[in-house]
Amino acid sequence: MGFITLQRHPKGLEYLRIDTPTFEAEVYLQGAQLTHFKPKNRAAILWMSDEESYEPGNGLRGGVPICWPWFGKLPGEDYPQHGLVRKLPWQLVKSHEESSGQVVLQFQFPQQQLNSMYWPFKCEVTVEMTLSSTAKVSITTKNLDDKPFVLTQALHSYFRTSDILKTGVSGLQDCSYLEFGHRSTDKAPIVNFTKETDRVYDDAPSQQLIHTPEGQISVSRRHSKSCVLWNPWIDKAKRLERFGDDDYTTMVCLEAANVLQDQIHLEPDNAYTLTTEFGWQ
Ligand SMILES: O=P(O)(O)OC[C@H]1O[C@@H](O)[C@H](O)[C@@H](O)[C@@H]1O
């Protein structure tokens, strides 16, 4: 076997390169972030920005960033967007190759790195990836404190398409969403992209399909009622860091989440696992 090798990007970040008879993948220890996933004989599924500089301490623009213990700007305007863990190194605590070609990786976020100014709770945070012809990414939070806390989070997956104008998402028909402060519901069977899209669906079915010119990507979620659908479109693309002006034409984010009414109340000693799984249909 020997499918997994530890490599170092010229800018210094360490990552795992995995090459099996079934798939290839790359996972950065910073952010425990899957940045590349490609089943053999199929196109790559995840989008990664060509403008990414891979500087240590920056978020990596693409793949599956981990947003924890809050999503977006919440709980306060001065809080770092999308939480505390996506720009810091995680520890690899398990890597297991099965003869079938399936690979299981487990990462833990070192508790001492948690900024107690923003997050004054003891907890254990683990990301597990099960990679084969599909990729499954889970994040488990265990409350080790003596008081409960409230958590929002997302597995912020960037998917690749060759043409956003020929891309749509099914599985969201009749679901209510919040976008730019307004509530709405889409009656169409497929959501298409013609402008900036930044929707939080708070009670969506557990599976969607992304229809791209390359085929259909199935994206499913567990322990998650909410999901986020995002494409920055023309103007926001120009303002985003590590994102090319035309990059909005080749990506779409469909994020497994626990946000809005779907936020998690975690009592002491309890644990909660959010999971997303994706692959070609
Ligand atoms: O640039 P960031 O912090 O990675 O965020 C990217 C996007 O993440 C999405 O999840 C949000 O809905 C967008 O509003 C945001 O712009």
| Least-confidence region, from 54-58, 70-74, 155-159, 198-202 | 70-74
Q: For residue range 26-42, what is the model confidence (pLDDT) as tens digits?
A: 999 999 999 999 999 99
For residue 212, CA distances in Å to 160, 162, 230 come to 8, 7, 15
Q: Is the pLDDT of residue 74 over 80?
A: no
**Nearest atom of ligand 1 to the alpha carbon of 86:** 4
User: Could you tell me if the CB of 82 is within 6 A of ligand 1?
Assistant: yes
- Whether cis (ω within 30° of 0) applies to the bond prior to 75 is yes
Q: For residue range 139-180, what is the model confidence (pLDDT) as tens digits?
A: 999 999 999 999 999 999 999 999 999 999 999 999 999 999
Query: How many Å apart are CA 121 and CA 30, to the nearest integer?
Result: 22
Interface ipTM > 0.90:
yes
User: Cα(42) to centroid of ligand 1, in Å?
Assistant: 28
For the chain, what are the domain ranges? Answer: 4-280
User: Could you tell me if the CB of 228 is within 6 A of ligand 1?
Assistant: yes
DSSP bridge partners of 62:
48
For residue 150, CA distances in Å to 59, 141, 146, 258, 266 come to 24, 11, 14, 11, 6
User: For 2-110, where are the E strands, in sequence order?
Assistant: 4-8, 14-19, 23-28, 33-39, 66-67, 91-97, 103-108
Q: Is the pLDDT of residue 93 over 80?
A: yes
26, 36, 128, 156: which one is catalytic? 156
Q: Is the pLDDT of residue 89 over 90?
A: yes
- Whether cis (ω within 30° of 0) applies to the bond prior to 39 is no
Tell me yes or no: is domain 4-280 CATH 2.70.98.10: yes
Token pair listed for 248:
């909005």
Indicate the pLDDT class of residue 99, thresholds 50, 70 and 90.
confident
pLDDT at 171: 98
* Mean pLDDT value across residues 204-225: 98
- How many other CB atoms are there within 10 angstroms of residue 214's CB atom? 18
